[in-house]
Amino acid sequence: MSEGAKGRRRKASEDPAAAAPAAKKRAQGRPATEVVGRDAVLAAARKQIQELPPARVTISSIAREAGVDPALVRYYFGNREKLLLAVIDEMTMEPPAENPATIDPIDALVERIRSGLRFTRSAKNMHRLMIDELAHSASPEIRARQAELNQAAVAAYARIMARDGGERLKQVDPLFLFIAIVGVFDFFVSGQPVIGNLVPEGTDPDEFERKFEAFVIDMMLNGLRKR
Please report the pLDDT score of residue 174 as a whole number.
96
Tell me the torsion sign for CA atoms 220, 152, 136, 51.
Answer: positive
Query: Distances from the Cα of 142 to the Cαs of 44, 149, 182, in angstroms?
Result: 21, 11, 21
Mean pLDDT of the chain: 81
Please report the pLDDT score of residue 23 as a whole number.
41
Q: Are residues 155 and 48 in the same domain?
A: no
* Closest to 31 in 3D by CA, of 61, 79, 76: 76
pLDDT in tens, 188-200: 988 888 998 999 9
Q: Are residues 73 and 136 in the same domain?
A: no
Please report the pLDDT score of residue 93 as a whole number.
67
- Buried b / exposed e over 104-130, threshold 16 CB at 10 Å, is ebeebbbebbeebbebbeebbbbbebb
Query: Distances from the Cα of 33 to the Cαs of 23, 44, 62, 172, in angstroms?
Result: 16, 17, 16, 54
Quick check: is 135 in a domain? Answer: yes
Into how many domains does the chain fold?
A: 2
Q: What is the mean pLDDT of residues 155-184?
A: 93
Choice between 150 and 94, residue whose per-residue pLDDT is larger: 150
Q: Are residues 61 and 126 in the same domain?
A: no
Please report the pLDDT score of residue 33 as a whole number.
43
Q: Are residues 107 and 210 in the same domain?
A: yes
Residue-number span of the structural domain to which 219 is assigned:
94-224
Q: Are residues 68 and 130 in the same domain?
A: no
Please report the pLDDT score of residue 61 as a whole number.
94
pLDDT in tens, 60-81: 999 999 999 999 999 999 988 8
Q: What is the mean pLDDT of residues 165-175?
A: 94
**Looking at 8-22, 42-56, 176-190, which range is the least confident one?**
8-22
Q: What is the mean pLDDT of residues 147-165?
A: 91
Whole-number Å distance between alpha carbons of 98 and 86: 25
